[in-house]
Amino acid sequence: MAAAGETGVTTDDTRPGDTRSLLRELPALAGVAPPLDLDAVPDHPVTLFLDWLDVAMRHAVPEPHAMTMSTVDATGLPDARVLVLKDVDARGWAFASTRTSAKGGQLAANTQAALTFWWQPIVRSVRVRGHVVEASRDESLADLAARSAAARADVDPDDWTLWRVVPSRVEFWQGSSDRRHLRIVFDRDGDDWRRQI
């Protein structure tokens, strides 16, 4: 057994050539992208996100509301975890957790965050970047009340917090097996959005 702090694996043991070959043989972008009419892309990222979320649900994408949330800690070390999207509207993308969690501490130190949605069966991804704001206490308490009794059992209501990522940039990406991927980017410009296709 390897001593604490040792992996017991040497460089020779990792067989990078074999792993590289194995990974290259795996299929990539194996899903089927739905039609995308670039002339019909809306002017607001929330509208397009809701359209894409609806398509993901109609195509039975498993857990389309699951997202990877990325933050950084006080030292600048990045962190990520999978969360469930609670809501999305013109105010931003909402999620919830306890203020005393690791993510809560990181958001207290640095309010910048990113969300990533990956819907493999339809070869679509959405990335959201922005700053995070706390919702009102009433909204946080309402979110907690909507959870099951078992999920609420050990949660301090004063600690439960609903946050929103207020987006500054939203990128929609649709993959293609011929590598001619489509990308639609929205950048915030004051109260408006600049869209690039």
Sign of CA pseudo-dihedral 111, 151, 83, 57: negative
Q: How many domains does the chain have?
A: 1
pLDDT at 70 > cutoff 50? yes
CB-based contacts of 163, cutoff 8 Å, min separation 6 = 94, 95, 96, 97, 107, 132, 133, 134, 135
On whether residue 14 sits in a domain, the answer given is: no
* Residue 84 structural domain: 29-89+102-133+164-196
Domain of 127, CATH number, reads: 2.30.110.10
pLDDT at 91 > cutoff 50? yes
Annotation: binding site: 81-86, 103, 173, 183
pLDDT at 187 > cutoff 80? yes
Annotation: binding site for FMN: 81-86, 103, 173, 183
Q: What is the pLDDT of residues 8-63, one digit of tens each?
A: 555 555 566 788 888 888 888 888 999 999 999 999 999 999 999 999 999 999 99
